[in-house]
Amino acid sequence: MAGFIKLLFTAFAQSITSFLYILITAIVYMHIKNEARLEETWLGFLRETVKNRLMNAMLYGMIAGLAASTLIVATGIPIDLNTAIILWPFALMLTLINKRFICFSYAGGIISLISLVSGWPKIDVPAVIAFIGILHLTESILILLDGHRDALPVVMEHKRFKPIGAFVMNRLWPVPLIILTIPTQVLPASGGGVAMPDWWPVFSMQNEGGFMLFPLALAIEYGGLAVTAVPRERTRLIGLSLGIYSLFIFALAYLSIRFSWLQYAAAVLMPSLHELIMYFSKKSQMEGKPILGAPWRGLRILDVLPDTIGSMMGLKPGDVLLNINGKAVNSEEMLVEALNNAPLYLWMDISRRGNAMTVEYRNYNRNKDKLGVIFVPRKASHFYIPDERHGLAFLMMKRLTQRKHLKM
């Protein structure tokens, strides 16, 4: 066991220092900078520095990558590098239709089905499906642990309620990874090895040349809206859904070793179930009842900034502020007036999910202290419009269709 752990950590250290991981980390850095600019546009300031956000993304990416690498090596899932060379460009081609198709579940399912039907390309279908299942398990862990962080509070239009408050979540993690592959003339085996149990590897017959650990790196993305729930509750639901999906796909891959017909089922179900999860996830937020609409009385809290009076008082998104020091508050102007007239002792009557509560704060200084709370406006001049993430091919087709209608 000690030898296995040493070998795994040595290979994992190589993946962290690889050029590919550095390149992906640079891409994540640019993504975080873009998100920071969007936050400054909406809030007028940054809640967290770009450097701290990058360090956080790298930390969680390393934790998730180490867990995924351990599963891949411990269960013995071999990935032929030729398969990876086919999957990655095909996934990039699918992004021409929609950017969300960068996910390997789509490319992996289509390539696996083509291989099963035509015999080309020759790939180990159970291993590919199991590998993608582990990647989605990694994604679900990242979403559960870190998906809610830095969620951006925005104002949106809604069919029945407008304006409403919502949160935009757009996370990207650089994930160093270790995969098992078969040594070739281009990539000869190097270093030592350790003795593995007789049942290893699970997903492939032991080949005479053995396997080698190959450092890799990926970027795992999560994007979504939180309209019917606050970000932490929203990411908990989608993270658990993807976790169950990943375990189901992994189980199908394992069973398909004995029952070959299940390889066809897994190849079809992998992209289909993923698409259904994404479709109903988006539909539930766009058509569900929002929890952050403007109330008839009081002010609805959209977000509470960290290290402010609001956070120290325990205010939370969704709370309705009713009174300050006994004075009714129905607009932000009334809020400012109440705070300007407040003594050193500040108390608030709020409603949290229909339950009346009173919170307080002592030593309040109206000349220095700020409440640090963002409210849902009753009227808004601009709204956040969700990105449909259409690919280049879709946009070109749409433009050609529009030109044809104009000529007619």
The pLDDT score that the predictor gives to residue 253 is: 95
The pLDDT score that the predictor gives to residue 388 is: 73
**Which of these, 207, 216, 196, 195, lies nearest to 85 by C-alpha position?**
216
Amino acid in position 184: T
The pLDDT score that the predictor gives to residue 234 is: 96
Phi-psi region of 44 (alpha: psi -120 to 50; beta: other; left: phi over 0): left
Beta strand spans in 277-345 (E): 299-304, 320-324, 327-328
Under a CB-based contact definition with an 8 Å cutoff, are residues 237 and 229 in contact? yes
CATH-assigned architecture of domain 299-375: Roll (2.30)
**CA 181 to CA 5: how far, in whole Å?**
18
**CA 29 to CA 58: how far, in whole Å?**
10
Q: Across the chain, how many H-helices and E-strands are there?
A: 11, 9
The pLDDT score that the predictor gives to residue 220 is: 96
Annotated domain spans of the chain: 9-183+205-287, 299-375
Distance of CA 231 to the CA centre of its chain: 11
Q: What's this model's pTM, rounded to 2 decimal places?
A: 0.91
β pairing state of 164-181 and 152-156: antiparallel
The pLDDT score that the predictor gives to residue 134 is: 96
Q: What is the DSSP letter of 334?
A: H
Q: Report residues of the chain scoring pLDDT below 70.
A: 1, 184-195, 204-209, 391-396, 398, 401-408
Backbone phi, then psi, for 177, in 5-degree steps?
A: -145, 155
**CA 202 to CA 180: how far, in whole Å?**
12
